[in-house]
Structure 1
């Protein structure tokens, strides 16, 4: 009997090893479908309390869906309007910043050249990158920015349409799904299924709520410091701080780097830039290292190394979108694994318990 159990375990392990690469390839290849599907699931979890409340008030499902869709589009329209107004200002002032940035980089490269010459270092065959190559006709240009932005806009519009399509069907099928599960599942299996779904829903709701609070706080304080030190593009930087803060560990650092770069282009490496740098370090320390761990606690049940691994993995599979949803998605997978076997090795590695 024990021999049979061991053989079954080995077969299960081998099948898992074979299946995992296939699943990853499918996820990566069909990311244009899976990304909207995952976002729709997250939105359905996010709207679940409001939908339950409206259902208790005996509102028809069609009206509930209409309210949800209108709310989402109004929010997107508001954010798009703010981003558009900020982008117009940014594009109007970009040529001046473009030239300043080239001058700063050229000056830095010349100083580096002088340093190499003074130290008598030999870099035979090594050609230094020139600033004009990076930001000139063959490098970073406004044409590339505009064409890239248009491509992103079209891609985002398609993904938004698919997300709304999936979301409407998910909300419409919620009640029917419960009835179908009652017919095909035993009482014990039904209980386990609902416990799993509720756990995932609660974790994602708490994560998104707490992360939104932290991101708003980070963006608000960052914008305040920018106003104090007189740094330009406050609204764009604030939006970047808010959005990129959803990418654990590296997102807010990248946004802070943008603010420091703008300050450097404006004022050089003077006291203002030093002040902005210290202010950004203080902001990140306060929200990312002190407040966020207290708010999040151990709700997601992920080890720090697993957060980093999930960030790299989902970033590779689905790009920046994958990095944004890496933590809640990995947490949801961990919950599902635990429902099959609480002592599962994979779950133990993910949660560290």
Structure 2
């Protein structure tokens, strides 16, 4: 009987592991295969959260009547965000036309600069860097970032339709929740999960947007001080890339520094510009942002980087932007069930998670 029990235990564990890895494989394969369908939906949901977050701020205005606020908050938020997206799209298009010739000549000019450095230092830098350029072209990397924005704006009508229907449907969410969960305990638990996800994403978007605006503005000021061409564009790129953890900050410094190499005759100007941009990114990313966010973004840094790589591999640049919000949703959902709580602890930054028992109160 003891031997039979051990065999059953081993078989059960093996079956659970097999089903888990099989499910993960199917999930990753499906997410990757359906990226063209799922990315506009994911962006629409993120914009929907942003509209509701902005609407909540409008409702809190002291001079606004609460009843009037309930009526106009969502439409005003929708108009503001749609207008902002259209303006951003036209700004990116005009900026890219202005800098298109520079981008086309980027790799050639960088090669010429490396040849000069090789002659000055008497070290052959060209051969190893040419090997690197065979794998990674600077102009192609920049064009990929631009292509990601172009993909978003090319699907703008589709995304806005999704957002519109989400806003129409959200007034029935409470009724649907009551129908889905007739028992009060289950309903309270589901409401707690949804509220936690909503608050978490709103907090993340609000604080990250404020920090990104500060980063973008300071980047613009520094580039303008050094008279770097396209200062407004570099500020905007720094603002957008700040939503991508770690890698975004590196690229936000690297791109204007590379253009400075082409534009400035003196290497010292390039070094001072790069140093100023690095200081801005370091201070805001490592001092200001953690103080504002506190323990609200309780996700392991290793998991953040890992999810960045995984979502980036599946959904490209758009996946990198969405990686942190998606991990926040996953962490909140996993923390609500005893069977998945251990996974939530592994994903969390310090091991502290909301217990499912709290959600039922």
TM bucket, shorter chain: 0.7 to 0.9
What is aligned with 1:28?
Answer: 32
Q: 2:170 aligns with which of 174, 197, 204?
A: 174
What is aligned with 2:356?
Answer: none
Distance 1:12 1:56 in 2: 52
Give the SS at the match of 1:214: helix
Check the 8 A contact 2:335/2:341 in 1, yes or no. Answer: yes
Check the 8 A contact 1:36/1:159 in 2, yes or no. Answer: yes
Check the 8 A contact 1:27/1:317 in 2, yes or no. Answer: yes
Check the 8 A contact 1:109/1:130 in 2, yes or no. Answer: no
Distance 2:131 2:22 in 1: 48
What is aligned with 2:244?
Answer: 247
How far did residue 58 of structure 1 move?
7.0
Aligned length: 334
Bigger relative contact order (CA 8 A; separation at least 6): 1
Distance 1:192 1:46 in 2: 24
- Determine whether 1:315 maps to 2:312: yes
How far did residue 104 of structure 1 move?
1.4
Check the 8 A contact 1:218/1:283 in 2, yes or no. Answer: yes
Residues 338, 13 of structure 1: CA spacing in aligned structure 2 closer, same or farther, 3 A cutoff? Answer: farther
Q: Deviations over 1:149-188 (max 9, x none)?
A: 9976774345323322222222212222321221231111
Residues 193-232 of structure 1: pairs in structure 2 closer than 5 A:
193-232=190-229
Residues 260-339 of structure 1: pairs in structure 2 closer than 5 A:
260-339=257-336
What is aligned with 2:255?
Answer: 258
Check the 8 A contact 1:106/1:130 in 2, yes or no. Answer: no
**Long gaps (5+) in structure 2:** 352-361
Distance 1:167 1:90 in 2: 33
Q: 2:179 aligns with which of 177, 183, 191?
A: 183
Q: 1:107 aligns with which of 110, 116, 124?
A: 116
Residues 5-20 of structure 1: pairs in structure 2 closer than 5 A:
12-20=16-24
Residues 52-63 of structure 1: pairs in structure 2 closer than 5 A:
53=59, 57=67
Check the 8 A contact 1:337/1:344 in 2, yes or no. Answer: yes
Check the 8 A contact 1:300/1:328 in 2, yes or no. Answer: no
How far did residue 33 of structure 1 move?
1.5
What is aligned with 1:122?
Answer: none
Q: Deviations over 1:307-347 (max 9, x none)?
A: 11111111111111111111111011110011122872211
How far did residue 94 of structure 1 move?
5.9
- Determine whether 1:88 maps to 2:97: yes
**Long gaps (5+) in structure 1:** 118-125
Residues 55, 344 of structure 1: CA spacing in aligned structure 2 closer, same or farther, 3 A cutoff? Answer: farther
Q: Deviations over 1:194-236 (max 9, x none)?
A: 1111111111111111111111111111111112222221011
Residues 146-161 of structure 1: pairs in structure 2 closer than 5 A:
155-161=151-157
How far did residue 98 of structure 1 move?
7.2
Check the 8 A contact 1:240/1:255 in 2, yes or no. Answer: yes
- When structure 1 is superposed on structure 2, of 259-268 and 182-191 the one drifting more is 259-268
Distance 2:241 2:228 in 1: 19
Distance 2:22 2:107 in 1: 51
